[in-house]
Structures are given as structure tokens and as C-alpha cells.
Structure 1
Amino acid sequence: MTETHEIVVEKVKESKIGNIDFDNLTFGKTFTDHMLECTWRNGNWENPVIKPYGPIMMEPSAKVFHYGQAIFEGMKAFRDEDDNVFLFRPEDNWKRFNESAKRLAMPEVPEEIFMYGLKKLVDLDREWVRYGDGLSLYLRPFMIASENGVAAAPSTEYKFMVVMSPAFAYYRGDVRVIIASQFSRAADGGIGYAKAAGNYAASFYPNNLALEEGYQQIIWTDAASHEYLEEAGTMNIFVRIGDKLLTAPNNDRILNGVTRRSVIQLAQDKGIEVEVRKISVAEVKEAAESGELKEIFGTGTAAVIVPIKGFKHEEYTHELPVLNDSYASDIKESIKDIHYNRVEDKHGWRVKV
């Protein structure tokens, strides 16, 4: 398949966009008129189909329900003031999607299906991409095992799909976290680096416990010792000590975040010293006590950058200082300027639809 192929498109009879209150969106609850679906069977990808958003038919024996072969990506589309629509670093999401697929013994999705199908779908529902600070269209490509049968083996059939949801800010209000000392998000040799559905399901129970204590998220630590920071909930983690920005290195437990890589690059562009290395809990607490701990923030597609107001580790608690010149706010504005085509895209991250 190439871009000269015509994807089969079945349009809705009437758009539901007129019934949507774009000023009062709940993240991930409202979906656009259309979705993309493509089936892998007999060792090949069939032609993609774009059709009205709605339920899909699956038998209860579908392997996704029994063995958890399910992966996804999170992406966004943005509109500028001249009504142009852009994707942000979509090729990075496609590459990471296929890294996840390989780890879960699923077929890789060809670039022409992922990218061309995504652009075609966004273009069809481009009126759902609204212009305004914080507004975007969240894109959710995902793949599930659709073969019927409960034998414990990889599926022989899969569905690759894309659904889209208009979005505003993911986190609203203050965010405080518990630094994990018991539960783990991922272990060495596991699937922590993949965007596998099960990674997120396993985090819900510990996060519920944090919520009961009045904390909104968990900073995960390494499974072996719980001595080193790894991720913040569904986000990568950054720590500012003095004027230096620290972030944990990639490994097979940590997701290789697209926003994380963007933050590192933009920080370096601004002359901020960035160190990619292990960050110990002890180091963070010592910096808090000495006054050198200036910021902690999480980064991810849905939230972009979320400042962390305070943290708890076992019995120790600490509130972060309020800064007028925070790295988090400065870098977030720089990313948003690229999203909305307000500045030159020096790194070639924007892809026009």
C-alpha cells in the first residue's frame, strides 16, 4: 500500500460535532465521527477502512481478553491560527508502536498504513481539531489480538485501529505524588518500555491507594531496590536540582517518551544543563533539605508537562517552592509554540495534514 491507494471511506450521514461543548471536555470521553480499522490475517495486512465511530464485534474467546495482547500510542493533532492542522513527531510514535508490537509478539504496522491512514483520518475529521491554547485532538492508535480461541499462544489475527478525541488539559489542579517504596511499575526484562495495556492496568491499584492518601500520582522506583526514580504515573520524570535538569535513562523498564525527548532537546537549546542518569530517592530528599531541589515535573503526550507540587516518601513529605521562572513552564510554552505553529520548527517535528 502507498499513498496512491485509496482507503475505503464510509462517512457518517450527519456529524455530531454540533452537539459537543468544546469548552467543557472530559479527557478521553468524547470521540470524533470516524475511526480507522485495519485487519491482519493470513500473514498480511488488509486494506484499511475508515468508517463511523462505533462498537466493534468480537467473540468472547478473542485472545485479547485472555492473554492481554494489546498495545497503543498517544498522539496529538493541533490547529494553528491560519487553520492549518499538524501532527507532532508522528514518526516517533509509529516506531515506538512497532517496538511494542515486537515485544508482545504482534505484527508490525507498515509506515504507509500507520502514517497515511492517520493523516487521512485526521483530515476527514479536521473540524474536530480546534484552535486555542491547550486545545488539541488526541489520537489513540491501538492494536489488539482478535483471533478466537483460548490456547495460550500468540494470536493469528489482529486489529489495528485509530480513534480520536478532542482534548483540553489532562491534569487540572495541583499534583502531588507518593514516591513508591513497595509497588513497582515494571521489572528488568519485562515490558515496561512497551506501551502495553497491562502496564497501565497494573498501576491502577497502587494509584488508588495514593488517591486515598490525598496524592494524585505515584513516582515509580526501580523494582530491585526502590532506590531510583523511574517514571511519574503515566509520565516520564524530570528533577531540577540547582540549575541542572536530571532525567532517568531509558532502559527496558522505562517508556521512551516522545515528549521527554522533546523536553531534553529544548532544554539544551536554551542552554540548560541536562543529565540523563540515575536519580536516587536519597539524592532528591537531600536536595529538598538543602534547598537545592527546585522542581519536579512529569512529561507525556496527554499532559505535555505537569509540575509536581509536593511529594511523600514513606514518612517524609516535602512541598516544592513556587517559582516565577520555572523550567517546566518555560519549556512547556516552547513546546506549545511548536504545536500551534507560532515559531520556527527547527527540529522538523511538525507534520502538516
Structure 2
Amino acid sequence: MALGERAYDVRIGTGLIDRAGAEIAPLLSRPRVAIVSDETVAAAHLAALQAGLSAEGIESVALTLPPGEGTKCWRELERVTEWLLAQRIERRDVVVALGGGVIGDLVGFAAAILRRGVRFVQVPTSLLAQVDSSVGGKTGINSPAGKNLVGAFHQPALVLADTGALQTLTDRDFRAGYGEVVKYGLLGDAAFFGWLEDNAAAISAREEAALLYAVRRSVEMKAEIVVRDETEQGDRALLNLGHTFCHALEAATGYSDRLLHGEGVAIGCALAFELSARLGLCPQEEPSRVRAHLTQMKMKADLSDIPGELPGAEALYELMGQDKKVVDGAIRFILARGIGAAFVTAEAPRETVLSVLRDGLAGR
């Protein structure tokens, strides 16, 4: 990631957790790190990570948190920060975030505010985290008012994306992460989206070569955009394709297991393309193609795929008004003139958005 003095490497491949000690050692002023993970990820990967560190003479202490989106909250932020202070983590030390997007966001934010900024290393273990949340320096927690409304831009010192860890994911978590992969093709690379369609079977089977390419191309696209716009003043907002709808749906479902973030992104992308078609920006065939691929991957593609009750269209629209992308009171949508041709606009009429939501809810 070419960000001047904040530049860092994003390493992608198999076996990176096992050799984490050799990868992290050059960053350390003393041979000791603090690791924060969640209970599920720790059971699968913490021992391997600590063994890899020990092999290079690096001591480690670890804290495990409950899994799930609910962990991205004030209470757990305080817990992590106070624990790091109790471990006497200094500004020149390194904190390791081992886990998915929740752990990466939370631990990155704790590192940003601890002693006014401590370095941290992302070791993302979910597909969503490897292709999106671990790269780019966005950290934060959720508030009752909305998702990711409290946070900081704090770039990691290193990202180790071990694609071997993706083999341990449940099918649902893997598919949810794939929602972010699809997003990259939809927002800026029609050829990549075509490759995803052609390689759906290999990706679903988690074939190593297919996973490596999907993760690498997604990270390349994110890096290109972040370098142009690190603090989201312009182009970086493109990375939020599907997220305006997604964040409203996550709030409506209480940030619970009813809807995982990547599932919301996939549904949000389908809704964004439907809205684009209704506004005459792209042919109706485009949202149909998006939904067809999501269905091909056995993913959630419509509001009707979300279990349980949802509020009405007007209530969902109000939740969108709490999104970070609201500027001067206007909701900014990422819409598209076609697959691979997304753009940012505040020119989506309220009634058209409501019609898309009403029709989606009517299909439930």
C-alpha cells in the first residue's frame, strides 16, 4: 500500500500464519506482541500463530473476545484498551489483530487511541476481512445510532492474509465474505466480474488458485482506490457500493446473526443496481445479472432472503440517513451505469428509493 511514510505490505498466500514470526519480527523493537482475537478464530488459529512467533523468539500474550458484530461496541473497546495497558504495551510495540472484520476494526481502533497511536498488524482470517476490512486503515466500532460511526483512520503496519485460513470458515461466513469480492467487480472491473461468473464453481469449492486470484485482485482494487483517497473525500466512497442499503438493514436486524455484513453488502449491491436501472442509468439486464450470480453462489440476493420481520420502507430510508455517507443532510448512493461502472451521487430521488424498498419488502 503506497501511502508514503505510512506505506505497508499486504502479503497474500498460504502458510502465512505459521510463519508470522518471520514476517512480524522486522517490525519489533523488542520480541513481544499482544494478540487480540475472538473465541472462534482463536480455537482454530491462535496456537499456530503463537507457535510461529515463538519459532522466532517472540513472546506473546493473548486476549479472546466473544465472536459476532455485537463485539464492535464501547464496552469491548474499553476492555481491549485497558487490557493492552495492563500488558504494558508501549508506543513502539505491535498489537496483532487475529480474526475477521469485527476484530480488525475493533483492535485497529484500540491501537489508534492507545497512547495516541500504537502500530498493529492485521492477520485477517475471513474472506471479508482479507479482501476488504483489513486493508485501507478504516477502524471503528458501532453505535446505537448506526454502524461504524465511531472510529479513526489508522493504517496497519502489515497485513498477512493467509488464504489457507479460508478453509476453516463455515459456508455461510465464506459466502458472506464473497459479497465483498463481488462488489469489486461491480464497482470498477467488469472483466473481474466476468471472471467471477466463469469461476463460480472453483471459488465455491475453495480451490487454492481461484481464492488466491480473487483475494489478490480485490486487494489490488482497494489499494488503488485508497492510495488516491485515503480518508474518503472522493473516490474511496466507491468502496461503499451496496453499503448504504446494507448498513440500514444491519441496523434494522440489530447487528445480529440474522444478517451478516457481507450478506447485507450482496443484497445492497443488488438493490443499488435495481435503483440504477429504475433511474435509467443502466439496462434492467444488469441487476438481473447481479442477482443471477449471487443466486449461483447460493447467496442472499433480496430483502426476502432476510429472516424475520423488517421495518417498512420509510423506516429503512430513515436508517439510511444515519449513514456516514450522508453529506449536508443528503444521502449519497453509489449507483452504476453498468457492471464495472459505479459512481457516487446524491441525486437519487427519495420516492424512487422507497419504490425499490417497497417492492423488495413486498416480495417477502
TM-score, length-scaled by structure 1: 0.27
- Normalized per residue, the structure richer in strand is 1
- Normalized per residue, the structure richer in helix is 2
Greater radius of gyration (CA): 1
TM-score, length-scaled by structure 2: 0.27
With a CA cutoff of 8 Å and minimum separation of 6, indicate the structure with the bigger relative contact order.
1
